[in-house]
Structure formats: structure tokens, C-alpha cells
Amino acid sequence: MNNNDAVLEIRNIFSDREPKAYVRSFGCQLNCSDGEKIKGLLGEMGCTFTDDEKDADIIILNTCAVRENAEDRVFGIIGSMKKLKELKPSLIIGISGCMTAQSHIAEKIRKSYPQVDFVMGTYAINALPKLLLDCLNGVKFSADISEYDDFSETVPQIRDSSFKASVPIMFGCNNFCTYCIVPYVRGRERSRRSQDIISEVKQLVRDGYKEIMLLGQNVNSYGNDRECEMSFPQLLRAINDIEGDFIIRFMSSHPKDASKELIDAIFDCEKAAKHLHLPVQSGSDEMLKRMNRRYTAEKYLEIVDYIRSRDSDFSLTTDIIVGFPNESDEDFEATLDLIKRVKYDNIYSFIYSKRTGTKAAEIDDHTDEETKGQRMRRLLDIQRDISTEGYKRFIGRKMRVLVDDVSKKREGYVSGKSDEGMSVEFEGSSSLIGQFAEVEITDAMNWAVIGKMV
């Protein structure tokens, strides 16, 4: 049976039930984008949606495997769903995403969590109708974690936002950083055709979307797997040429492939965010080598210097891993030196987490957990001061802000992101959500800048 037949058959079964589905995505924006496709397929099969798992007839947890605590959290949630299943035996529970793409995890779920009806790997979103049909036909447990060659351009999508859209431009990763599970659970790089991406963005802009977030594990290698395809800087320029009032953001950008051509495109494209997320991971060449990052701190700083030579205030953010196996005090100091030199507006820092199957998992690690914790706290303290100081440069400046929510910290305020990627809060009503606003910055906190609408 093919997918379309499965969809039709399920629609028939569901026509008198209108089942309610609860879909929850964990992890990165690529995973959330998969979650929107899972919802699209469920919608096509006749489901409605609920935010309350107790109310659901179908529950899908779309999981992340990047660190152990992400997995532990999901196992906790799956455990707690046993009760729901007892109360409603017809409840269907499916687990998808990066966790289930690891066969040992799929096996653990099958063995130890009988409340789960099916698991589906990251390639298998298209297989959802067939997996669901199995459940409806009484099959106790089904799984599809196979690696398909291709991805579908035609999976329907129910987007979480009406003004911010994620657009994957490529799937998978070829880099095999030694700590990272992603290449094992997402497979090799597969770029979408640029004309498909451009048509999708055109349609989104026509539909009123104001932020287009281009996604890939390393957008800088976009097109390398396709003959005669554009490079990422060319794609950025092509999307910039689409008419309309919108901002283009993208992530992530691997420093080994961050070229002058990319930086020039960011400056030339008036719709591109004036911000770059450039994950460095460590400031120590020894660590970078053992992480298989394929650049040195010096090479990284050359890119930073080129960006800052064009705009000394340019906003940069990064990812840091603290406590990679056998990271010494000197290695860690090199990271601190680097963050003091670059002056990031924000860093996302993670304590190294051992991932079964990766190269780094085989290293005998002699650094104790307490040292790692202390390093993390020092890093955060230093970065907090850097951010607070750095944000002051925006005071007096006007920023364009895409408003995305009401402020969680101040009554009567709204919050959003500026073209520089800064979190901005200002007095205003919720009717501004989804719109651009011109804001003059009046104050800097260590988590955001504050302003007045002009």
C-alpha cells in the first residue's frame, strides 16, 4: 500500500471520529519544522489538534538526541503517558525524531515502554500514514527507522506561526564533529532544489510571513551535493530579490565554510538579518582538532575580523561546549580569551554530553563533573558582563523589530527580535504581534534592550 492509499483509508476511518492529535517537538528548529509536517499529515488525515495531552486521541512526541538530558526528559514524559493509556486504551502514542533514529533507542522503547504504539525515524515522516494504519488495524508495535534516499517536497505542513516561517534548505550533515550525534540520526547532506526553496519563500511572503528562517546543519555547504546548484550566498541573494517586506535569517553556519562571499552577501542583501550565529565550540586549537571542527581559533578570528572591519558593531552569537573530554584549564582559558576578544551578544553554552556511537564517546575522560560545572558558571558570569556592556552600544539607535509576543517580564510591554537579532522590549499592545515596529533604544539589560516605539 502506498502513502496516498493509507491516507485515504485513514480518512475513511476517521471521518466519524475527528480524533484530536497532540504533537510536541523538542530540539532544534529543523525538528520543529518536521513537527509542522507531522501536523500537516495528521490534518490531511482528518485530525484536529489539541494542546492538552489528556484530551488527545493521538500523541506524537518528536524528539531530540543532541544531549543526554534531552533524551532523559522524553523518557520521563513517555513514562508518564502510561497512565493516559490506561485511562484511554484507544490512545495512540508515537515517537518520532532524532532519538528514534538510533536503533538502540527504538529497541529500548519497544522493550520497556509498551504504551508506545509506533516509532518513526527522521527520514520516515512520509511513513506516518502507514504506521498509523498499522495501529488502527491492531498491530501492537510498528517501527520505521529506515534511511530513505529522498525527501518529499509535497508533505503538507501546518505552521506554528502565521508570521515566522522555518524553511529547511537542506537536510543531514557531513561534518562528523566527534561529539555530535546529528550526522548519525539525520544522515548525509541533501540540499533541496533552489527553485523549490524560492517558490516556497515567494508563497510564504504572499501569505504575509514576515520572517523567513533558512535552516540547515551547515547552510554554508548548501548545494555541494547537487550539480549546477547555487551556493548559499547566491541563494541568499536570490531570496533577497523576492519582492515584499520580510527579514531573512539563517542557521547554522559552520566557521570552516564561512567565506568572505557569505559575509559580503549578508551586507549586500538589505533583507538579510545583520547578525551571524557562528558556533565556535572552543577557543583551544587542541580541542578544536579533537572535535574535528577543521578550523583554528586564528582562522575563526579572521572571519570575525573581516565582519567587524565592515561593521565594528556587527552582532555575533555562538555555541560553546564546556568540558569536552580531557579539556584542560589552559584549553578552557583559551575559550574565555576568545569570547572576551569577540564580544558576542549571546552565547549558547552546553556541558559536553557523551553520545553513544560518536567518536568522542570512546575517549577516556579524566575531567570531573564538578570542574565542568565550575567552568560553565565562570563562562556564564563573564558572558553576562560582556552582553550587558555590549548592549549599551545600541542605546540611542533605531531598530526595526518584528514583534512576536507580549513581554513576560513587564506589564504593557511587547517583545520581539530586531534585524540585528537582539531581543527588544517596548511599551505596546498585543495588536502589534506579527508586525514590524520602529523602536528607539533607551536602555540595556543583560537579557534584552528596552526601547520606545517611534
Residues that bind ligand SF4 (CB under 6 A): 173, 175-177, 180, 182-183, 217-218, 254
Identify what 319 binds: ligand SF4, ligand SAH, ligand F3S, none; CB under 5 to 8 Å per kind: ligand SAH
Pick the binder of ligand SAH from 350, 357, 406, 407 (CB under 6 A): 350
Q: How far is the CB of 295 from ligand SF4 (least distance, A)?
A: 12
Q: Is 353 in the site for ligand SAH (CB under 6 A)?
A: yes
**Site membership for ligand SAH, residue 252 (CB under 6 A):** yes
Contacts with ligand F3S by CB under 6 A lie at 27-28, 30-31, 64-66, 98, 181-182, 185-186
- 347 near 384, Cβ under 8 Å? no
Output 170 or 399, the one with its CB closest to ligand SF4: 170
Which residue's C-beta sits nearest to ligand F3S?
A: 27
C-alpha cell at 47: 485530525
Length of the chain: 454
Q: Which does 30 bind (CB under 5 to 8 A by kind): ligand F3S, ligand SF4, ligand SAH, none?
A: ligand F3S
β partners of residue 9: none
Which 28-57 positions form the footprint of ligand SAH (CB under 6 A)? Answer: none
Pick what 232 binds: ligand F3S, ligand SAH, ligand SF4, none; C-beta below 5 to 8 Å, kind-dependent. Answer: none
CB of 66 to ligand SAH, least distance (A): 5
CB of 148 or CB of 306, closer to ligand F3S: 148
Task: Look at the block and give the residue holding cell 506524537.
Answer: 60
- d(Cα 354, Cα 198) in Å, to the nearest integer? 38
Among candidates 144, 112, 111, 115, which has minimal Cα distance to 127? 144
Residue 319 CA to residue 237 CA, distance in Å, equals 26
Per-residue contact track with ligand SAH, 281 to 310, x per CB under 6 A? x-----------------------------
Contact assessment for residue 34 and residue 152, using Cβ atoms and an 8 Å cutoff: no
Query: Does 220 engage in binding with ligand SAH (CB under 6 A)?
Result: no
Binding site for ligand SAH (CB under 6 A): 66-67, 179-180, 182, 217-218, 252, 254, 279, 281, 319, 321, 350, 352-353, 355
